[in-house]
């Protein structure tokens, strides 16, 4: 399924964004990231605060099983509350990943000093945010976090010409 539709004279794409436990633990950082989303023309389609069990973390990051950071990653991602968003805008996947900056915090600080990970990231694992890396990943990840959400229904029915979920 292609996660886009033409409305309001622009093609909207959906992406899945997570604010990770390191950032949710700090209310001012959480608020700054929320404002960052709004100021960058994203429509907040859905938002959910949740805590993962370790098994959720293992399932979501299964592709990294065996990597040296895997245990640390699954432990961290199930260590406290996080916030997930379905975001929409034109080129949402690329725009959100550009806002986040590179995965590794030292690289983010060097190459994209104004990016989220450069500004707020603590370590390469505790790097503040997640964003889908393609439209296909977005569809899979949206289903993971928001099983009740129907992309098809949203594409067909809901009016995107407003900002929801402030």
Sign of the Cα pseudo-torsion (148, 151, 153, 157, in order):
positive
20 in a known ligand binding site = yes
- Does residue 69 belong to the site contacting ligand IDP (CB under 6 A)? yes
Catalytic residue among 64, 130, 153, 166: 130
Nearer to ligand IDP by Cβ, of 127 and 151: the residue is 127
- Does residue 125 belong to the site contacting ligand IDP (CB under 6 A)? yes
Q: Look at the chain and count its residues.
A: 166
Nearer to ligand IDP by Cβ, of 47 and 121: the residue is 121
Nearer to ligand IDP by Cβ, of 55 and 134: the residue is 134
- Does residue 56 belong to the site contacting ligand IDP (CB under 6 A)? no
130 is annotated as an active-site residue: yes
Closest distance between ligand IDP and the C-beta of residue 38, in Å? 22
67 in a known ligand binding site = no
85-124: contacts with ligand IDP (CB under 6 A): 103, 124
126-165: contacts with ligand IDP (CB under 6 A): 127, 130, 133
Q: Which residues of 38-65 are buried (b: 16+ CB within 10 A; e: fewer)?
A: eeeebbbbbbeeeebeeebbbebbeeee
Report CA Rg, the chain.
Answer: 15
Binding-site members are: 20, 69, 97, 103, 117, 127
Residues forming the annotated binding site for ATP?
Answer: 20, 69, 97, 103, 117, 127
- Site of interaction with ligand IDP (CB under 6 A): 64, 69, 73, 103, 124-125, 127, 130, 133
- Which of the residues are catalytic? 130
């Amino acid at each position: 399924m292609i996660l886009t539709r033409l409305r309001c004279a622009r093609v909207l794409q959906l992406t899945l964004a997570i604010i990770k436990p390191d950032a949710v633990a700090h209310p001012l950082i959480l608020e700054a990231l929320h404002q960052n989303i709004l100021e960058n023309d994203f429509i907040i389609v859905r938002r959910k605060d949740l805590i993962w069990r370790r098994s959720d973390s293992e399932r979501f990051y299964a592709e990294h099983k065996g990597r040296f950071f895997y245990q640390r990653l699954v432990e961290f991602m199930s260590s406290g509350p996080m916030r997930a968003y379905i975001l929409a805008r034109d080129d949402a996947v690329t725009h959100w990943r550009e806002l986040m900056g590179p995965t590794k915090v030292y690289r983010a600080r060097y190459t994209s000093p104004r990016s989220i990970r450069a500004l707020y990231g603590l370590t390469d694992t505790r790097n503040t945010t997640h964003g889908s890396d393609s439209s296909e990943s977005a569809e899979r990840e949206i289903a993971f976090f928001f099983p009740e959400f129907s992309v098809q229904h949203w594409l067909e029915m809901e009016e995107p010409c407003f900002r929801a979920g402030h």
